[in-house]
Chain A
Amino acid sequence: MKLITAIIKPFKLEEVRDALTSLGVHGMTVTEVKGYGRQKGHTEIYRGAEYAVSFLPKIKLEVATNTDLVDKVIEAITAAARTGQIGDGKIFVSPVERSLRIRTGERDAEAL
């Protein structure tokens, strides 16, 4: 099992969700986050006060999946979230030791 964490542009969320659903991914967790990488922030001006805002709003999407699906999931997210512009985001893959569905007590692959 792997946990795939993708940081994407907020407006790409629906396209990514559609792509993952058609792959058979049944669930995911989404968080509104802020951060920066190579994309520069922007300047906000309120009357005389200028603020450099370096943390930009992004969506963090987390999907736990069987190891054999990882490449397809990565591919689907990449295809759906890419605009070709700086700031498209990143994908991280990490191992998952165990999983459990709280309602039924099912474990690991059955719990995904």
Chain B
Amino acid sequence: MTKFNTFLSRGFAASAVLALSALPALAQAATPPVPNKGDTAWLLISTALVLMMSIPGLALFYGGLVRSKNMLSILTQVLAIVCMVSLLWVFFGYSMAFTNGGGLNDFVGGFDKAFLAKVDANAVVATFSNGVVVPELAYMAFQMTFACITPALIIGAFAERAKFSAVMVFMALWVTFIYFPMAHMVWYWGGPDAIGDAAKAVAAATDEAAKKVAQAKLDEVKADAGMLFKWGALDFAGGTVVHINAGIAGLVGCLMMGKRVGYGKELMAPHSLTMTMIGAALLWVGWFGFNAGSNLEANGTTALAFVNTFVATAAAGFAWLIVEWVAKGKPSLLGLVSGVVAGLVAVTPASGFAGPMGSIILGLVAGVVCFIFVTSVKNALGYDDSLDVFGVHCVGGIIGAIATGILVNPALGGAGIPDYESKPGELAVAAYEFGPAVMAQVKAVLFTLVFSGVGSAILFKLVDLVIGLRVPQEQEREGLDVASHGERAYNS
């Protein structure tokens, strides 16, 4: 998450002024920045767009892919998860993700802001630009929509057979023990001003003792961040936190729950690809809020993320269409839609870091690789990931996360890795080194796979022992709509 376009647009005059004297900087620090109305409006609109991705976007996208007897179970699970996680988020989720966690701060936050304590209409939080803040309530609500959609993504992996009560209990545990810590580890940090001010103090220190104190303070500010953030892992809008995290949890879930009755023998064709198309289109539109909104401000980097979200998606949809046409003989709508979603997933971590041409390459690769996973690898391995949560979200997320470490390179049209320290108060671009940049991404991917994979397995096992994960076979045959919810999607 970052933007350095502001740096370019401000030009060299501002940095020259800053270099001349520390006095103007001190004067600036005296008047705390206030939120800009345009930034605030954009962040709130983005928040609503991301909510639209879950309901109705994801619900319809998934719902259309199941058999008509299970349509309402999907819609119900998605909406119920959104309602439940919204409450958990304001009760303790936001605090666990975005406060200092004391001794556990590398992994998770604390409870200082539980029940939104101290988060009132006057509270502000940092963005990615020095001297730019947004209302904390807007930031909290924006992040809330991410917490809502991530668990909702998981349900696709074990659609058409999961017990509703088990899904709800699992999701409450999962966001608490997996999602909130992941969000903290990747996205929690002090912000540009905290680093900038501490770095300025180091520069301003006159004697050795003062310099030592100031340096210690700077180290402390930099240390107050999540573990993956400190590794240097880049994740603009949630490749690790959202997609790899949900994708691997889905894979573990479908393995532990077992295949659907009749899988591989009976017709399990999607009951309405029309709904799936509507849902995917809503996802794409909403994803502009997800990715471009993740810049928190409305500026050039926001537009970059917007354009990347547009073109990577188009490339991935087109890539899947063509590959399927060649390999299977016909270009299908479901293939096109699947490619679109794979592209959206892949560009998520890269959206504010890559350039548009890099994003197109990323989209093409994601479309082809996800196609191979979903059509061949899944069948070869024989697991029943009903709606391809692993093959699209986890695989697409991994491709995107690793590609982010490559495409961020300014030489490839990328935005570069942000550096708030070398020119305190300004956003500079750090020198790009391929090895460390890519290794930080690989480490973050591996950590997420293990943390979420193992953690989810423990939680699934726990829920299985206490409640049982699956409905009885006769209920699965009858369909979850009638068996679990006592209603039917279509009465004609």
Q: A residues bordering B, Cβ < 8 Å? A: 44-49, 51, 53
Contact = CB atoms under 8 A, between A and B. Distances in A.
Main secondary structure of the interface of B (DSSP, over half): helix
A47 B269 contact: no
Nearest to A55: B267
A44 B379 contact: no
Given A45-B330, A45-B332, A51 B338 contact: no
A110 B388 CA distance: 61
Interface in B361-386: 374-376, 378-379
B328 interface: yes
B270 interface: yes
Nearest to A51: B267
Interface residues of B, number: 16
B267 A47 contact: no
A48 B375 contact: yes
Interface of B: 267-270, 328, 330, 332, 334-335, 338, 374-376, 378-379, 388
A53 B332 CA distance: 17
A37 B388 CA distance: 36
22 contacts: A44-B269, A45-B328, A45-B330, A45-B332, A46-B269, A46-B332, A46-B334, A47-B334, A47-B335, A47-B338, A47-B374, A47-B388, A48-B375, A48-B376, A48-B378, A48-B379, A49-B268, A49-B269, A51-B267, A51-B268, A51-B269, A53-B267
Contacts of A46: 269-270, 332, 334
Contacts of B335: 47
Contacts of A47: 334-335, 338, 374-375, 388
A34 to B, nearest CB: 12
A15 B388 CA distance: 45
A51 B270 CA distance: 12
Contacts of A48: 374-376, 378-379
B383 to A, nearest CB: 11
A53 B269 CA distance: 11
A48 B267 CA distance: 13
Given A47-B338, A51-B267, 7 more contacts: A45-B328, A45-B330, A46-B332, A47-B335, A48-B374, A49-B269, A51-B268
A48 B332 CA distance: 12
Nearest to A53: B267
Nearest to B268: A49
Nearest to A49: B268
A53 B379 CA distance: 20
A57 to B, nearest CB: 14
A44 B268 CA distance: 11
Contacts of B268: 49, 51
Contacts of B267: 51, 53
B182 to A, nearest CB: 28
